[in-house]
Structure 1
Amino acid sequence: MQNFFFDFDSTLADTKRVAVVATQQAFLTKGLTAPAANVVVSYMGVPIEVSFAKMADRPLTPADLEPLFQEFRRQYALADGEIQPFDGMLDTLAALKTAGKRLFVVSSKHSTPLRRNLAQIGMETTFEALCGSDMVAHYKPAPDGILNLLDRFELDPAQSVMIGDAIYDIQMGQNAHVATAGALWGAADPTAVKNQQPTYLLRHPKQLLII
């Protein structure tokens, strides 16, 4: 593989606790029942523009949802200093770059907090480009994020791999007709990821060096 597309949450960095707390606090602040932690985790990888309506205890209009999104982003920013890269990730990314690989991020996060989070964990110059949820017409598992980068940088799909911890990442890669790698080190549901039949199943970031 020459072109590596990474999910962010639970693939590059451990963000589960921050995501759970920010989601629950946002819901409570807006007078909604806070979703259980396992429910929040199950939707990680899905943009909040999709997941929040599904987690709400009552139907929400677009006018209801926008303040909820804003409160979530505020709560997330208060705690995102707790985000840390997974063990071995920084060294692995450095080794991939030294080997001449091209590195990208495809995330369900909005590109603004995504850039901030990458900088916080020492990855601000690691990736050639990123594609956030605000840069696509259709969210994961649609292939738009990967196709965006393949087109912008004239990359060969046959030499490209999508790395992610959730089924949505694997499905997106499959829909874009690139190879896929299940990042089991961060997966909330490893069995579901395995059942999606990714091209590779990886238990540690350093295994990226041999695909």
Structure 2
Amino acid sequence: MERNRYTRPMYLILFDCDGTLIDSQDTIVSGMEAAFSAVGLAPPPRAACLGIVGLSLEIAIDRLVGDAERHLVQEMADAYRASKIAERKAGGGQDPLYPGARAAIEMLHARDDVLLGVATGKAYRGVEHMVQVHDLHGRFVSVQTADRAPSKPHPGMILQAMEETGVRPQNTVMIGDTSYDMEMAKNAGVTGLGVSWGYHDRPLLTQAGAAVILEDFADLVPELGRRFGWHAEEVA
């Protein structure tokens, strides 16, 4: 992979999960309700729960509870995780892929110059569940999660993915729906592409450094083709 000037460039395309690949808002909100109920607190509004999507769980809960209940964060995070484990054992937690996500993944996976990865605030177990539910085995060569790297917007997930794959920053793209994704991309020195169907609005994405905001998954491969100079027949 990019060992010398004669080799073909390799490209690394990293996806966020929640709000980008899968619509997990109901799962996240129910998890937060379980976390707050476990310590006798009223759960925050739905919009507040979705506003922290992308952060690692403890940091997300910390932002929601504030100073007065900060000592409860770990207990709440444990309750959140327990609720998700119970939900999966009961056959739930099967968050749907967004329309067009599978087609985009398959088109990119079929290219011999593209490597796909995940960089998410989920724990590794959550990504494994997503891959299992949607039969995405073998699609992602790099999986970066909140329990294996610092929370977004720290660049650690992207830096680790580039180190694993040997792909350079100029050939790496981070695709996400939150300002944390775009800030992480900027901090890592790579391009961030925002998506309009997730949990942060367009002004937040633009302010955080999104190079482009995609309106539909069908726009992704053509946008990458323009950015990397792929021939038209390669992005059809």
CA–CA separation in structure 2 for the residues paired with 1:187 and 1:202: 14
5+ long unaligned stretches in structure 1: none
Residues 69/19 of structure 1: CA separation in 2 closer, same or farther (3 Å cut): same
Tell me which residue corresponds to 1:70.
78
The percentage of counterpart residues that share the same residue type is 23
Tell me which residue corresponds to 1:95.
107
What TM-score does the superposition give when structure 2 sets the normalisation length? 0.83
Task: Tell whether 2:60 aligns with 1:60.
Answer: no
| Divergent runs of 4+, >6 A | none
2:46 corresponds, among 37, 57, 82, to: 37
Aligned residues: 208
Q: Is the 8 A contact 2:18 2:24 kept in 1?
A: yes
Task: Tell whether 2:190 aligns with 1:178.
Answer: yes
CA–CA separation in structure 1 for the residues paired with 2:60 and 2:198: 19
Deviations 1:94-150 (A, max 9, x none): 0111123110000111112221122212223221120111111x3111100000111
CA–CA separation in structure 2 for the residues paired with 1:123 and 1:185: 21
Tell me which residue corresponds to 1:132.
145
CA–CA separation in structure 1 for the residues paired with 2:38 and 2:69: 17
CA–CA separation in structure 2 for the residues paired with 1:176 and 1:187: 22
Tell me which residue corresponds to 2:129.
116
Task: Tell whether 2:158 aligns with 1:146.
Answer: yes
1:192, CA displacement in angstroms?
A: 1.1
CA–CA separation in structure 2 for the residues paired with 1:187 and 1:43: 9
Q: Is the 8 A contact 1:7 1:106 kept in 2?
A: yes
1:74, CA displacement in angstroms?
A: 2.1
CA–CA separation in structure 2 for the residues paired with 1:14 and 1:107: 14
CA–CA separation in structure 2 for the residues paired with 1:132 and 1:197: 22
1:86, CA displacement in angstroms?
A: 0.4
Root mean square deviation, CA, Å: 1.7
Deviation larger for 44-53 or 193-202? 193-202
1:60, CA displacement in angstroms?
A: 2.5
1:151, CA displacement in angstroms?
A: 1.0
Deviation larger for 188-197 or 13-22? 188-197
Matches within 5 A, 1:155-170: 155-170=167-182
